[in-house]
Amino acid sequence: MKSLVFFIASVLFPCGLCCASLAAEDERLLEEISRASFQFFWNEANSVSGLVRDRTGKDICSVASSGFGLAALPIGVERGYVSYEAAKNRALSVLRTLEKSNAHHKGVFCHFIDLSNGNTTKSGYENVASTVDTALLMAGAIVAGEYFGDEVRLSAERLFARVDWSAFVNPTNGQVFMAWDMNGPGKFEKQTWDWYSDETLLISLLGQSSPNSVYRLPPETMTNWNRPVGKYKNGQPFIYTYPGTLFTYMFAHCFYDFRHTGVDSLGVDWYENTCRAVKANRDWCRDHSSEYASYGRNLWGITAGSGPNNEYVVLGHPPRGAKDNQGQYGTLHPYGAAMSIPFVPDDALAALREMRNLKIDGRPIWQSPADGGYGFWDGFNIDKHWISDEVIGIAQGPMLLMVENARSGLIWKLMMQNNNVRQGLIRAGFKGIKAGN
């Protein structure tokens, strides 16, 4: 396997560029998407705690959604959607609420928490302290701390420093547990992060970036998970995830600028790896457009989200570890293409233009921000004449952050300037990171 992994780095060709010079119509489209997505995080937050709803219509906070909401605040200021002071105060409300929250195990927060006060709740579908949701929360806190400084930075650092990542390491295999079950006496769930996904990557990097040396993950947690290599048809090989769904190649990339980290200790260029995964997703959808009306040359980006009949679907494609269909094919989620802009900008923009104007039985899948809408509904399925009636934070977040990274690189710049983050990359063995540069 190692020879194939090194092959990924040895034939590196940049497959995407930041959209430094967009056509005016494309800039208008991305601005409209950004404004709409930001409105979700601003309007769907509790007025006192600042915590963000998991999705529209649900009075519960997901900490991952709030993490994306924290990272959204600098975008809102830079784009002129809100004032600096209003955004800074929102960040402080969120972080201070979390500092007082009881909804964590050794600093690892519950997936779902009370929207009004950040404490434990049983309103979500699970009552667990989640390592990946906490990683997304901490990444957002770091970004907000870097941008606003002062009390925001101090509060973010306190939250980050109290996360005991090391307590979540399975002593049997050295992998990180996915969650701690908060029910009854509490216990670790059996599942560990044993396979590459951007969730595993994000946890591994943040765990090695902790300002508290006692709580850090050991370096081997960056390398002791499965890294299977495959390809789609005649495409280039890449390390694939178990579900093969697009968001599992994106979460760490929302924050880390892997274009400038160099390869990791096993020779993998993760930016290039995600480029290849995006192209495979695009090509799979194009190849199956005769079977599903929702897929086509400019309709691609299958990932996870709302599905018909109120079913949450996790749609993937080969190469992947899973063998079943994992949901209803023919469903598409616009944030899949939006996340992909830094990797295949022309194809992603073409997909967003087509979806922006798409209607199913006369109903648009786009809600105008000028009318208070949040942009794209979460998903649609043309064959089933279905459009989602909700907007989800963990879809809006990657869409907003990756669009901004393509436009300005703002989130990447803020994350990569954090000294703890840089030290974590060095500990993880990335070749392009030097102390202090």
* 163-217 per-position pLDDT tens digit: 999 999 999 999 999 999 999 889 999 999 999 999 999 999 999 999 999 999 9
Mean per-residue pLDDT, 36-44: 98
Give yes or no for residue 22 having a pLDDT over 90: no
Residue identified by tokens 């200790």 is: 265
DSSP state of 213: G
Question: Do 308 and 275 contact (CB within 8 A), yes or no?
Answer: no
Structure tokens at 115: 């929207």
Question: Across all residues in the chain, what is the average pLDDT?
Answer: 94
Residue identified by tokens 């194939």 is: 4
Cα(395)–Cα(353) distance, rounded to whole angstroms? 18
Question: Do 107 and 39 contact (CB within 8 A), yes or no?
Answer: no
Instruction: Give which of 353, 349, 356, 351 is closest to 403, Cα–Cα.
Output: 349
Structure tokens at 162: 């109290």
Backbone angles phi and psi of 71, in degrees to 5:
-70, -25
CATH number of the domain enclosing 133 = 1.50.10.140
Task: Check residue 21 and give its pLDDT.
Answer: 66
Task: Check residue 161 and give its pLDDT.
Answer: 98
Give the pLDDT band (50/70/90) at residue 19: low
Burial of 369 (0-12, 13-18, 19+ CB in 10 A): buried
Question: Do 54 and 112 contact (CB within 8 A), yes or no?
Answer: yes
Cα(42)–Cα(44) distance, rounded to whole angstroms? 6
Give yes or no for residue 263 having a pLDDT over 90: yes
* Residue 434 lies inside a defined structural domain of this protein: no
* Residue 436 lies inside a defined structural domain of this protein: no
Radius of gyration of the chain (CA): 20
Structure tokens at 331: 């469903």
Cα(76)–Cα(383) distance, rounded to whole angstroms? 36
Instruction: Please state which of the ranges 58-62, 183-187, 289-293, 323-327 shows the lowest mean pLDDT.
Output: 323-327
Percent of the chain with pLDDT over 70: 94
* Residue 55 lies inside a defined structural domain of this protein: yes
Task: Check residue 16 and give its pLDDT.
Answer: 54
Give yes or no for residue 13 having a pLDDT over 50: no
| Domain count within the chain | 1
* Residue 353 lies inside a defined structural domain of this protein: yes
Task: Check residue 310 and give its pLDDT.
Answer: 85
Q: What is the reported pTM?
A: 0.95
Task: Check residue 326 and give its pLDDT.
Answer: 64
Cα(383)–Cα(294) distance, rounded to whole angstroms? 7
Q: Which residues contact 286 (CB under 8 A, 6 or more apart)?
A: 295, 296, 297, 300
Give the pLDDT band (50/70/90) at residue 225: very high
Mean per-residue pLDDT, 214-224: 96
Task: Check residue 6 and give its pLDDT.
Answer: 39
Q: Which residues contact 432 (CB under 8 A, 6 or more apart)?
A: 260, 261, 262, 263
Task: Check residue 10 and give its pLDDT.
Answer: 40
Give yes or no for residue 265 having a pLDDT over 90: yes
Predicted confidence (pLDDT) per residue in 131-150, tens digit: 999 999 999 999 999 999 99
DSSP state of 180: E
Give the pLDDT band (50/70/90) at residue 56: very high
Give the pLDDT band (50/70/90) at residue 5: very low
* Residue 205 lies inside a defined structural domain of this protein: yes
Structure tokens at 182: 């908060």
Predicted confidence (pLDDT) per residue in 77-109, tens digit: 999 999 999 999 999 999 999 999 999 999 999
Mean per-residue pLDDT, 224-243: 97
Give yes or no for residue 114 having a pLDDT over 80: yes
Instruction: Give which of 344, 210, 219 is closest to 271, Cα–Cα.
Output: 344
Instruction: Give which of 234, 240, 248 is closest to 320, Cα–Cα.
Output: 240
Task: Check residue 436 and give its pLDDT.
Answer: 59
Mean per-residue pLDDT, 128-132: 97
Percent of the chain with pLDDT over 90: 89
Query: For residue 289, what are the CA distances in angstroms to 158, 277, 336, 357?
Result: 49, 19, 17, 19
* Residue 312 lies inside a defined structural domain of this protein: yes
Mean per-residue pLDDT, 320-349: 92
Task: Check residue 18 and give its pLDDT.
Answer: 53
* Residue 423 lies inside a defined structural domain of this protein: yes
Burial of 125 (0-12, 13-18, 19+ CB in 10 A): exposed
Task: Check residue 426 and give its pLDDT.
Answer: 97
* Residue 433 lies inside a defined structural domain of this protein: no
Question: How far is it between the farthest Cα atoms of the chain?
Answer: 58
Query: For residue 24, what are the CA distances in angstroms to 21, 41, 186, 369?
Result: 9, 26, 55, 19
Domain region containing 292: 2-427
Predicted confidence (pLDDT) per residue in 360-411, tens digit: 999 999 999 999 999 999 999 999 999 999 999 999 999 999 999 999 999 9
